[in-house]
Amino acid sequence: MESIKSLSNGYKSIIYTLSVLLFSCNGDVYKYWELSKFRLDKNALKDGEEIKILYTSRGPDYNKDLKYYIHIVAVSQETGDTVNILTFSDNGFKMEDGDKVFNYFDENNHITKIGHSLEKIDSIEHVDDIEKIQNPKINKVARDPRYDDIADNNYPTVIGTIGIMTNTQNN
């Protein structure tokens, strides 16, 4: 009977330890930088320019309320320059995406404007309506302090979104 009691106490200890680990792995690791920390340079990347991603801060949640930017560090495939990209969407990047080539879409691109205002998508009746969309004013950038060695840099910074352009021409 004594061994069953000690086994029960052992399970309690394991459950307690797993609970502490589980609850410590939530979004609490994230901190924020002010937007002013970044060296904004609208000419650091061209609209549609190909990039490869080195790092993404992701965020503590899906950022559906657009409360912060997600920080991406990328390399231009055209110039070889390293740049920061601040975007609103996590894009669900995975480790294997580091080998993929993406396109950068600047803050005035229709893709970026639509992405920033998905809740208003029903009010867009004509393509000209997209021009009227104002990008939200976001003043903080999500950061994961565990990766400050790459994220805390002085690279030029652009605001926009990331995607993949495909050729849809019919032969």
Regarding pTM above 0.85, the answer is: no
What pLDDT, on a 0 to 100 scale, did the predictor assign at position 88? 87
What pLDDT, on a 0 to 100 scale, did the predictor assign at position 11? 53
What pLDDT, on a 0 to 100 scale, did the predictor assign at position 73? 96
Distances (CA, A) of 47 to 5, 80, 136, 165: 66, 16, 19, 11
What pLDDT, on a 0 to 100 scale, did the predictor assign at position 149? 95
Name the residue among 117, 142, 110 with its Cα closest to residue 38.
Answer: 142
What pLDDT, on a 0 to 100 scale, did the predictor assign at position 7? 46
What pLDDT, on a 0 to 100 scale, did the predictor assign at position 123? 67
What pLDDT, on a 0 to 100 scale, did the predictor assign at position 170? 58
Name the residue among 81, 80, 50 with its Cα closest to residue 153.
Answer: 81
Which regions in the chain score pLDDT beneath 50? 1-7, 16-27
Name the residue among 38, 43, 48, 42 with its Cα closest to residue 72.
Answer: 38
